[in-house]
Chain A
Amino acid sequence: MSAPGKTEPTEAIARARAGDAEAWGELYREFAPAIFRFCRRALPTREDAEDATMEIFMKLRDKLIQYDQTRSFSAWLYKVAANHCWDLLRRRKTRQDKETGDLENVPLEHPDPNQLEKLIEQRTSEEVRRALGKLGSRARMALVMRYYSDMSYDEIADALGVRRAFVGVVLLRARHELRQALGETSVLAAGGAS
């Protein structure tokens, strides 16, 4: 899950575990922007993301001792962040969750490949980010975990508390929600292949 060509900050981690404040500073400088963006995508407001970023790094101080150095630090960090954000969202029991819960039982319509392709071509990153904000907590969280932090299906299943086999369903439904938010679902569904 680390960026290609990027080495793990092994030395800084070791020093941070020993209580070195400078090492913490290095880790924070290196990872805070990424974690903030992760939280920004996963949580509804900027303030939430700021709070969550700080809380995650506070939590990290306690948890760093649990980090297995044979594994990727950034992967572990994203896992902590995902758990924190999901825990936060779950605690809120937002209305979106209830709505999403109702949607779980709605069968998905098969998209028209040409219409889908057209939709993807027409949409900008900015529009996608705006549409992401309209999704339910779980859908947004799943997409962020998969397409921002590149978490595996196992990790997503673990963070969301669902069976691994269900992760694909969650992601697919999230994509459908996103397409709907982008305002083209009806067009796509109309030309669905049989």
Chain B
Amino acid sequence: MNGTDNPSADRAADRAMEHLDEMTCLLYIERQLDRGRAQEVSTHAQECGVCRTLLRAMERESRLLTRAMLEEEEALPARLAQFQERARRSLQWIWGVAFGLAATGAYALYTSYIEPWQQKLDQAGFGGSNLLNLLIFQGAFWKGWQSMITLLEVLAMLTLGGFGFAFFRRRVRRGSVLALVLAGFCGVAALAVPAAASVTEFRHVDTAEVGPGETIKSDIFLFCHHARIDGTVEGDVYLFAQDASVSGHVKGDVIAFVQSLRVSGQVDGNIRTFANNLTLTGHVTRNVLIFAEVMNLDATGKIDGSLTSFLASLHLDGPVGRDLLFFAANANIAGPVGGGIRGKGDTLSIRPTAEVAGPIRYEGNNPPDVSPQAKLASPVEYHKIEHKRPYEEGGYYIWQVIWMAAFVLFGLVLFQLMPGFSKEAVGNTERYGASAGLGVLVMFGVPIAAVIACVTVVGLFIGISTLFVWYAALHYAQIVVGAAVGQWIMGRTNETWPLIGRMAVGVVIVRLCTTIPHAGGWVKFGVILWGVGAISLALYRRFQPSIAPGLPSGPVVPPSLPANTTIGGVQPA
């Protein structure tokens, strides 16, 4: 109420001077005045027609506003009514894309890399043993793993089961269904384990050996510090040991994860080993695949098949029946090789006693040291490895620009295809801790889980698909972070096209930062972790919605509404 300094003036004029202001009227009808002030306003309104009219008009205005807002002139959109259905469809869409990408990726991988490589190997003289087939497609590579399936398969099943449980956790309410699923897993595991165990022997001691007169009719697994095979093993030998020696007769394969392996006996199958060093003085009827620091094929040793090696140092004094493929810092060849040689390394020495029946292709830092006495089918084809800093090459910058454009294009397509998901992922970048933490987990956990899943036939498809999605996510992550950076610079937006513009700006900045010498790699790593985490969070939320189906499509329930839309009067004390 406005005050006045003129008590002697006309009473009506006084009242006119003391009209309630609009704010006081609003607060009065909204019951926001204290009791004393509300009483004053009420008293004044009883005496003043102008203020009474204003109060009444504002009350009616309030009612009109409330009525206008509460009227249900629009039905609930079908999109909202089918929220659950949509969420489910979006999930199927994700899996559809994943499988589609996986299939496309597998086809592209085969046609772009595997097939040409296979042809090149054939042309290079490796066709005799067909290394690629040997490694990947033929039974030799996989055969040895069949008996290990018991352990890995259970592990893979548990992993898949874990994923399944996590995924269906919110959907599966009834304990009985959950129990059934778990029972199913247990049943499968129970069936798998005894069947394999019945034909496999496990020995887990400090020193394990198969004595000279002993014959093992099945496969054997040895987990120990020192392993000796002096007897006969009719199946495969699996060695997990510090040092191991095979002086007996192994009719299957030798799969070894050891520090030091010495083979002086006979192996009818293949040797595949991850070791520190391998000394071979015995006879291997088939092929050798080795990842090690040092390998020595003694003059008394012999490999009838091919040798594929990834080593620091390779010494061949004995014969290799077929082709030799090596990636070794230093390679010394003094024995006969029945096929061709293809290698890459620092130095290559071909001694006078060497005999090579096929072509020799060598890529290295230094020219090969070839003895004139060596008997070679053709001269060594040598290519020097060029170590040039990428920053010094003009093409590097052109490629960077091309990559930037490709990323922006990729981002544009993704933001158009799934704007909601992309916005959510970009928004999640602001949850730094969660994004980084989840990024680390997904970055390292997913490939491990996918590889484990690949062990099973069913899991192979899921594992490869997951790996492809994971790989795509690494690139998508840079786009998401780019969009976040763009938003920092140009301000936030929720519209798709402005967001794409910000993404383009941000991607260019991020890509520029990743090209900084030395620090660029770490920047890229951080960006990927951050982005992958943000995407994973968004994906997690997409997996989460489980609003029940069957929502009504029309206006059904009146909202919980303002209780006091009529006004006036004194606020209760």
Distance between Cα atoms of A167 and B72 in the complex (Å): 27
Residues of chain B with a CB closer than 8 A to A194's CB: 16-17, 19
Distance between Cα atoms of A26 and B550 in the complex (Å): 10
Distance between Cα atoms of A6 and B558 in the complex (Å): 10
Cβ-defined contact, A40 with B61, below 8 A = no
Distance between Cα atoms of A193 and B49 in the complex (Å): 12
Q: How large is the interface on B (under 10, 10 to 19, 20 to 34, 35 or more residues)?
A: 35 or more
Cβ-defined contact, B83 with A88, below 8 A = no
Shortest distance in angstroms between A11's beta carbon and chain B's nearest beta carbon?
15
Residues of chain B with a CB closer than 8 A to A91's CB: 492-494
- Known contacts A128-B65, A168-B23, A168-B32: does B74 contact A37 (CB below 8 Å)? yes
Choose one: A33, A37, A74, A117; the contact of B60 (CB below 8 Å): A117
- Known contacts A93-B491, A116-B58, A143-B65: does B83 contact A30 (CB below 8 Å)? no
Residue of B nearest to A91 (CB): B492
Distance between Cα atoms of A145 and B102 in the complex (Å): 49
* B323-363, CB < 8 A from A: none
- Known contacts A92-B494, A123-B64, A147-B562: does B54 contact A21 (CB below 8 Å)? no
Distance between Cα atoms of A88 and B494 in the complex (Å): 8
Q: Annotate B147-184 by CB proximity to A: 1 below 8 A, 0 otherwise.
A: 00000000000000000000001110100000000000
Q: Annotate B535-573 by CB proximity to A: 1 below 8 A, 0 otherwise.
A: 000000100111111111001111111111100000000
Cβ-defined contact, A28 with B420, below 8 A = no
Cβ-defined contact, A32 with B551, below 8 A = yes
Cβ-defined contact, A110 with B21, below 8 A = yes
Residues of chain B with a CB closer than 8 A to A159's CB: none
Is B66's CB within 8 Å of the partner chain A?
yes
Is A41's CB within 8 Å of the partner chain B?
yes
Cβ-defined contact, A33 with B555, below 8 A = yes
Residues of chain B with a CB closer than 8 A to A29's CB: 548, 551-552, 556-557
Residues of chain B with a CB closer than 8 A to A171's CB: 26, 30
Q: Annotate B39-63 by CB proximity to A: 1 below 8 A, 0 otherwise.
A: 0000000000011011011101110
Is B128's CB within 8 Å of the partner chain A?
no
Is A10's CB within 8 Å of the partner chain B?
no
Cβ-defined contact, B53 with A24, below 8 A = no
The number of chain A residues with a CB under 8 A from chain B is 72
Cβ-defined contact, A117 with B56, below 8 A = yes
Choose one: A51, A108, A121, A132; the contact of B68 (CB below 8 Å): A132
Is B84's CB within 8 Å of the partner chain A?
yes
The count of A-to-B residue pairs whose CB atoms sit within 8 angstroms is 192
Where chain A touches its partner, the secondary structure class is helix
Choose one: B54, B173, B493; the contact of A20 (CB below 8 Å): B173
* A55-91, CB < 8 A from B: 57-58, 61, 72, 74-75, 78, 88, 91
Cβ-defined contact, A1 with B68, below 8 A = no
Shortest distance in angstroms between B173's beta carbon and chain A's nearest beta carbon?
7
Q: Annotate A125-146 by CB proximity to B: 1 below 8 A, 0 otherwise.
A: 1101100100000000001101
Residues of chain B with a CB closer than 8 A to A108's CB: 22
Residues of chain A with a CB closer than 8 A to B494's CB: 88, 91-92
Is B80's CB within 8 Å of the partner chain A?
yes
Residues of chain A with a CB closer than 8 A to B552's CB: 29
Is B134's CB within 8 Å of the partner chain A?
no
Residues of chain B with a CB closer than 8 A to A178's CB: 65
- Known contacts A6-B560, A36-B80, A150-B563: does B547 contact A175 (CB below 8 Å)? no
Is B70's CB within 8 Å of the partner chain A?
yes
Q: B: which residues have CB within 8 A of A?
A: 16-17, 19, 21-23, 26-27, 30, 32, 50-51, 53-54, 56-58, 60-62, 64-74, 76-77, 79-80, 83-84, 169-171, 173, 420, 491-494, 541, 544-552, 555-565
